DNA sequence: CAAGTTACCTGACGGC
DNA sequence: TGCCGTCAGGTAACTT
């Protein structure tokens, strides 16, 4: 589920439901996610507070309350957030629930429990770019995401460009699917060394990253309207995949069969005809 | 320091 | 039908 576009879609879908609502109760499954869920702290601090903003940074969802406390939610591999009536049956992997003052509930469902929830006090929340996100790279859409930025970080990096693009310290939010798709669009082989790319390669990668992520967000956006009953559908950008999951199928550009290899332990797809070194 | 590997956890799927 | 191995959109702690 959760790639940058999906987190953005979830963020946009939740915003109107959460903004200016009061959190009235917190329930947890008791199971730990990647880290223990701060159940007691959420009870003590969040209950009774009004939600002010709902934003995204990298693949994290940021929910700020009236006193500037910040709840940060990461969805891991299988996490999902949805708005449900309080009376709706609780599902197996619903681990965190925030009851709101209108009878609806925010629910975090996460089968594999690779997700996480943090609660930052106001001071840490304000300083999050130096603290919590101190090692997180720029947003792909931000003005700090430039060819110069990539070239500086890539100087001594001989690792495959695909792994480099997926490194959250380099640039935020690019996961396995989009790294594959971006490199295909750019015509760059995923195993090419990061330090070997030149300025125009990076410019192309940046432009295509923005284009692909924007399109993916637009595709996912169509499902957010029925968030209340369905728990966030996954959108339909997958019909636009050019390489991901297409092992052996013909490339839409040149007809070569798409190849699948392992890079850094992750499934990596590329077109041997279109993506050169 | 860079880069590769493993661990975390559950469920779906294919082969036998 | 059932058992087993493999794989999965992420991150971070390890090891080399």
SS3 A87: coil
Q: How long is the CA A111 to C1' B8 vector, in angstroms? A: 13
Statement: residue A226 has pLDDT above 70: no
Confidence of residue A233 (pLDDT cuts 50, 70, 90): low
CA distances from A193 to A159, A161, A163, A188, A252 (A): 5, 5, 10, 10, 26
Nearest Cα neighbor of A138 from A57, A53, A56 is A57
Strand C bases contacted by the protein (CB, 7 Å): 7-12
Q: A56: Cβ under 7 Å from strand B? A: no
Q: How long is the CA A267 to C1' C2 vector, in angstroms? A: 29
Q: Apex CA A43: angle with CA A37 and CA A45, to 5°?
A: 105
Catalytic site residue A247? no
Between A225 and A63, residue with greater pLDDT: A63
Residue A14 and residue A142: Cα distance in Å, rounded? Answer: 23
Q: A114: Cβ under 7 Å from strand B? A: yes
Q: A261: Cβ under 7 Å from strand C? A: no
- How large is the C-alpha radius of gyration of chain A? 20
Q: A266: Cβ under 7 Å from strand C? A: yes
What pLDDT score does A223 carry? 44
What pLDDT score does A227 carry? 46
CATH of domain A4-126: 3.20.190.10
In this prediction, what percent of chain A has a pLDDT beyond 70? 95
> Does the pTM of the predicted model rise above 0.75?
yes
What pLDDT score does A234 carry? 63
Domain ranges of chain A: 4-126, 147-270
| pLDDT-wise least confident of A148-152, A155-159, A229-233, A261-265 | A229-233
Catalytic site residue A59? yes
What pLDDT score does A117 carry? 98
Q: Give tens-digit pLDDT for A129-182.
A: 999 999 999 999 999 999 999 999 999 999 999 999 999 999 999 999 999 999
CATH of domain A147-270: 1.10.8.50
Nearest Cα neighbor of A39 from A31, A28, A49, A51 is A28
């Amino acid at each position: 589920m959760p790639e940058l576009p999906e987190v953005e879609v979830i963020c946009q879908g939740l915003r109107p439901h959460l903004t200016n609502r009061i959190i009235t109760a917190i329930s947890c499954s008791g199971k730990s996610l990647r880290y223990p869920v701060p159940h007691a702290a959420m009870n003590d601090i969040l209950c009774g507070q009004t939600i002010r903003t709902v934003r995204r940074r990298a693949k994290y969802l940021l929910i700020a309350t009236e006193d500037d406390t910040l709840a940060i939610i990461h969805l891991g591999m299988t996490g999902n957030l949805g708005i449900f009536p309080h009376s709706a049956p609780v599902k197996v992997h619903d681990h965190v629930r925030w009851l709101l003052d209108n009878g609806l509930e925010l629910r975090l469902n996460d089968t594999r429990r690779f997700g996480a929830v943090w609660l930052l006090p106001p001071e840490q929340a304000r300083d999050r770019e130096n603290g919590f996100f101190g090692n997180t790279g720029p947003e792909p859409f931000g003005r700090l995401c430039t060819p110069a930025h990539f070239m500086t970080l890539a100087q001594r990096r001989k690792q495959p460009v695909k792994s480099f693009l997926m490194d959250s310290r380099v640039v935020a939010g690019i996961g396995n699917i989009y790294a594959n798709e971006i490199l295909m669009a750019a015509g760059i082989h995923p195993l090419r060394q990061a330090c070997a790319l030149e300025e125009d390669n990076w410019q192309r990668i940046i432009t295509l990253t923005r284009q692909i992520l924007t399109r993916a967000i637009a595709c996912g956006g169509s499902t957010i309207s029925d968030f209340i009953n369905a728990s966030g559908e996954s959108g339909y950008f997958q019909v636009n995949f050019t390489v991901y999951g297409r092992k052996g199928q013909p490339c839409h550009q040149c007809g070569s069969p798409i190849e699948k290899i392992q890079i850094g332990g992750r499934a990596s797809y590329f077109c041997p005809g279109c993506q050169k070194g």
